[in-house]
């Protein structure tokens, strides 16, 4: 039962000046990305809301084109009616979620507790990131449904 425990010996790798510079460059880049993450997520949320507004205008143009409502090409098109409702739901929920991501809110301020401050920062980023991601997903689903609506109008089933 005499087992020997081997401790692996690692040879110290000597970094070249180029490797040290690259490491420092990467640290600087990621520190800058992290410091601007809230602004990036706010801009992404605003961008999603703007795109949704544009696509809602397209949807309203497609559904209200002409003098009669609903237009003739939607009267007997059950797929088209369903898609219009699905698109509206996706876009409106996505817009609401995008607005939640960029809406100003109060945060807990921990002036002397770095751990709590770090946790609050992570909570802020997580909140904004999830809202922007869900807004993007719903926007994507709504846009695919809008494309399906246009196809169903052009090529009636």
pLDDT in tens, 46-56: 888 888 888 88
- Which helix (H) or strand (E) covers residue 9, if one does? none
Range(s) of the domain holding residue 127: 17-154
Exposure string over 124-142, b if 16+ CB within 10 A, otherwise e: beeebbebbebbbebbebb
pLDDT tens digits, 124-139: 889 999 999 999 999 9
The predicted structure's pLDDT at residue 45 = 87
- What mean pLDDT comes out for the span 57-69? 70
Percent of the chain past pLDDT 70, that is, above it, reads 85
**Residue at 74 is within a domain:** yes
**Residue at 150 is within a domain:** yes
Total domains in the chain come to 1
**Residue at 71 is within a domain:** yes
C-alpha neighbours within 13 Å on the C-beta side of residue 50: 7
**Residue at 66 is within a domain:** yes
In whole numbers, what is the pLDDT of the chain averaged over residues? 82
- What mean pLDDT comes out for the span 81-105? 88
- Contact partners, residue 62, CB within 8 Å, separation at least 6: 146, 149, 150, 153
**Residue at 109 is within a domain:** yes
Write the Ramachandran bin of 66: left for phi over 0, alpha for psi from -120 to 50, otherwise beta: left
**Residue at 3 is within a domain:** no
**Residue at 140 is within a domain:** yes
Burial of residue 58, with CB atoms counted within 10 A of its CB: 0-12 exposed, 13-18 middle, 19 or more buried: middle
**Residue at 10 is within a domain:** no
């Amino acid at each position: 039962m005499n087992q020997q425990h081997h401790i692996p010996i690692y040879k110290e790798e000597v970094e070249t000046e180029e490797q040290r510079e690259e490491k420092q460059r990467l640290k600087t880049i990621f520190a800058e990305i992290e410091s601007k993450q809230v602004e990036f997520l706010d801009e992404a949320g605003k961008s999603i809301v703007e795109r949704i507004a544009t696509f809602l205008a397209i949807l309203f143009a497609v559904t209200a084109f002409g003098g009669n409502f609903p237009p003739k090409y939607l009267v007997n098109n059950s797929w088209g009616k369903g898609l219009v409702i699905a698109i509206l739901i996706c876009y409106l929920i996505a817009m609401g979620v995008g607005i939640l991501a960029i809406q100003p809110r109060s945060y807990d301020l921990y002036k002397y507790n770095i751990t709590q401050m770090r946790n609050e920062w992570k909570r802020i980023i997580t909140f904004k990131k999830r809202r922007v991601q869900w807004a993007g997903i719903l926007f994507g689903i709504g846009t695919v449904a809008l494309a399906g609506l246009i196809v169903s109008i052009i090529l009636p089933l």
